[in-house]
Homo-oligomer: A and B are copies of this chain.
């Protein structure tokens, strides 16, 4: 066996262990009976440790170094680059810290659930303090030049730094705050109350699968199940799993499914010859999110989309009133500054993220004490969104991320929003106005374009390289600002802002 073959074989073993963990986690959210929880924790713990040990074993590094001399194809060179990056990240953090973080993450999650249920930030604060401590240690192990945040956020978004996020948020903060202000003053008040009711689960399942299939998620190579929080996972290009949820608000299932279908089509779009290798899948969280947002918002919350699907929606859910397309379109795009990120509309969403980004930076550097978080949080919400959370449960305790020690992750959501419009602009430059395609339910040209430009590239390029290849430039908020400004000026009948 050549060194390259040995490396590939090692990586296939690591991949199999990762697939097992992914499937166990999927099952835990979808089908696992309550009694399975304890054993599940032991199994995923052991398999994760085995994957970590096998991947970071000295001989993996040896194989990698030797394989470098053999790699000649573009793909092999890219595979080695990606593997080296992953290996660097994984080996810099000592096993003891990994284990402590995992343990504290499990505990933290439990504490967070309690604290949120009891609206008691105090219960969670000491654990949160320790979780941020561990993140600080992690960052020191990973290393950084400018800011401690850089080390953490690079794990989720290769090449991103505090500075680059500052620049990104800087370019959207004012226009969004301004747009929100103008919307608030608009005489238009969309009514979306007709979307809330007791909707049959089987019909929600049927309709969401129908539109997921329609946009191009391949159910021969994937499926959709139900989970408390929608997510997308998978363990092969041929086996990608979506989840959705059925709530009183009909939009939960519909937009949840379209969002996860975007993630899913990205995963399904990798070239089959990369299956089960490090080159398959999404290049970064931000780019991944750009695709979920594309299908959820740019496609799924467009007037054209519902000109096609509203009649079908109405015939599926007979209790739905016979609202005109325009009213429906406004309802699903209602802007309303609120406390809860996951329920936020397309306009205010990034404001929620900004608060979290600022909190993370301030706690990491010590400018903000964990105990002062609620006050800081509420002040920021007042400032950006003009609202004050009634309780910490719907305030600084609402998100799961920190309870699991994920710090540096949130900005990728905003990057996704921004990048979705930046890529879409290029897509429309190539395909022309897409509204006719969407209105005809003809998503194939759109999906094909995205597969060619983005999905089929897997992890071959860095996120920055990919963005430049696809859009000709680095992250640029202008298409996003222009896009949402136009869209919501129309919906809220605002006089066009000077651009």
Q: Which positions in A face B, CB cutoff 8 Å? A: 12-13, 15-17, 19-20, 23-24, 27, 31-40, 42-43, 46-47, 50, 218-223, 225, 235-239, 275-276
| Complex partner residue of A35 from B20, B47, B238, CB under 8 angstroms | B238
Nearest residue (CB) in B for A13 is B46
Q: Are B46 and A222 in contact (CB under 8 A)?
A: no
What are 9 sample pairs from A and B whose C-beta atoms fall under 8 A apart?
A13-B50, A16-B46, A33-B238, A34-B220, A35-B238, A36-B238, A37-B238, A43-B235, A43-B276
A39 touches B235 (CB 8 A): yes
* B12 x A42 contact (CB < 8 A): yes
> How far is the CB of A235 from the nearest CB of chain B, in Å?
6
- Chain B: which residue is nearest A34 at the CB level? B220
Q: How far is the CA of A222 from the CA of B39 in the complex (A)?
A: 13
> 19 additional contacts, CB 8 Å, given A12-B42, A16-B43, A17-B47?
A16-B46, A19-B39, A20-B20, A20-B43, A23-B24, A31-B225, A34-B220, A34-B221, A35-B222, A35-B238, A35-B239, A37-B238, A38-B275, A39-B235, A39-B236, A39-B239, A40-B239, A42-B276, A43-B235
Chain B nearest CB from A183 CB (Å) reads: 42
Chain copies in complex: 2
Determine the chain B residues whose CB is within 8 A of the CB of A32 once the complex forms. 239
Q: Are A36 and B239 in contact (CB under 8 A)?
A: yes
Q: A219 touches which one: B16, B33, B43 (CB < 8 A)?
A: B33
- Are A239 and B33 closer than 8 Å at their CB atoms? yes
Cβ-defined contact, B33 with A16, below 8 A: no
The complex places the Cα of A220 from the Cα of B34 at a distance, in Å, of: 6
In the complex, chain B residues whose CB is within 8 Å of the CB of A40? 236, 239
A235 neighbours in B (Cβ, 8 Å): 36, 39, 43
A221–B276 CB distance below 8 A: no
Are B35 and A218 touching (Cβ within 8 A)?
yes
B221 and A33 contacting across the interface, CB-CB below 8 Å: yes
- Chain B residues with CB below 8 A from A238, complex form: 33, 35-39
- Separation in Å of the A201 CB from the closest CB of chain B? 12
Known: A39-B239, A238-B39. A24 touches B20 (CB 8 A): yes
Q: For A47, what are the chain B residues with a Cβ–Cβ distance below 8 Å?
A: 16-17, 20
- Taking a contact as CB atoms closer than 8 A, the residue among B12, B43, B237 that contacts A19 in the complex is B43
